[in-house]
Amino acid sequence: MRDDHSRPRACDCRKSPPDRPCETALAVYRRALLQGSLPEADAPGCLRALHLVVEDSDAPGSLIPVPPETASFAALGSIEEAIVGQRRKLRATRAALAVFEGLYADVRRPERPVLTRLAGRAVISKALDAAVGSCREELRTAQPGGGRPSHVLGEALSRDLEMLRRGVRQRTIYQHTVRSHRATLSYIEQVTAAGAEVRTLAEVVDRVIVCDREVAFVPVPEDPHTALRVQHPALVSLLIRHFDHAWGRSVPVRPEAAPLRPSAITSDLQRTILLAVVGGETDASIARRLGMSRRSVAEHMRKVSEQLGSNSRAQLGYLLATSGLLDS
């Protein structure tokens, strides 16, 4: 029966970084080099795992040190073999996928799918990542609904910064209400510092993302978890013209002054709200469309009602329509 002294010496590898041997192994290996050998029980497990000691055939129970260069063949051989195997598997998988890609193209080519339905947030996100990742010249984005959720902005930030580093021009239109939304302003500050251009408008009709002049993404109104990928040149050009028209009417965002509400922005918002009142829209509908609260909509209406001397919504609509206040 072997006593406790015959057990391998414990090491302190857990206290050391992955790329640094433990102090116990270094000390024992140094002693083995100086003495020429050491008892088998004195060798820590990590020294054996690295093949830095081997049994002495002339002295059973003893170990002799091995030069690291020699030990590397045994220690690294299995790892290198595994890497070679993984690389071989990678090449084989790529080749197999290439065959399927050719088959897919042959079957789908007659269909020419210029519109592709993308269902589910994960599918949409992957399609967007692929399109933005291959964007070479310009990304146009229109984002309605006011301030965006922090987790959505966090996902977009790294993707957009990487694209800007590649020299791609990024232009984004938000609604005026983002100028008081901290999370969105933080995102805007970071991307504009990297070269992006951001503007705001009272009303952004719908969400649209256009990569270069090749592919666009639009939502499906009746299903918030579904989008369309548009690849028809005429439809993409139409979306680009729509975006560029809105861009020309929008107001640049300067992050350092973004919390302020310049008179141009206030009057633009107010005019859009009052036009909606004349059109018979409710406060809830106006607030939803402009990405703001019902209270803010009501406050704008109150101020104009006081100016025109209106006592009711119907009277306000009549006075607005006949006063010339909303004439271009």
Does residue 211 surpass a pLDDT of 90? Answer: yes
pLDDT value at position 260? Answer: 41
Q: Is the confidence at residue 81, as pLDDT, over 70?
A: yes
pLDDT value, residue 258? 43
pLDDT in tens, 85-142: 999 999 999 988 888 888 887 776 655 568 889 999 889 988 988 888 888 999 999 9
Comparing CA positions, the residue from 307, 93, 269 lying closest to residue 174 is: 269
The residue among 218, 211, 237 whose CA lies nearest residue 131 is: 211
Q: What is the pLDDT of residues 229-258, one digit of tens each?
A: 999 989 999 999 999 988 888 888 876 554
What structural domains does the chain harbor? 4-66 (no CATH), 115-257 (3.30.870.10), 263-323 (1.10.10.10)
Three-state SS annotation for 55-106: ECCCCCCEEEECCHHHHHHHHHHHHHHHHHHHHHHHHHHHHHHHHHHHHHHH
> What is the predicted pLDDT for the residue at 61?
85
Return d(Cα 96, Cα 90) in angstroms, integer: 10
Residues in the chain: 328
pTM of the model: 0.52
Q: Mean pLDDT score of the chain, rounded to an integer?
A: 80
User: In this structure, what token pair is assigned to residue 155?
Assistant: 């996902």
* Inter-axis angle of helices 294-308 and 263-278, nearest 10: 90
Q: How high is the pLDDT of residue 1? A: 39
- Residues 6 or more apart whose CB falls under 8 angstroms from that of 218 comprise 206, 207, 208, 227, 228, 230, 239
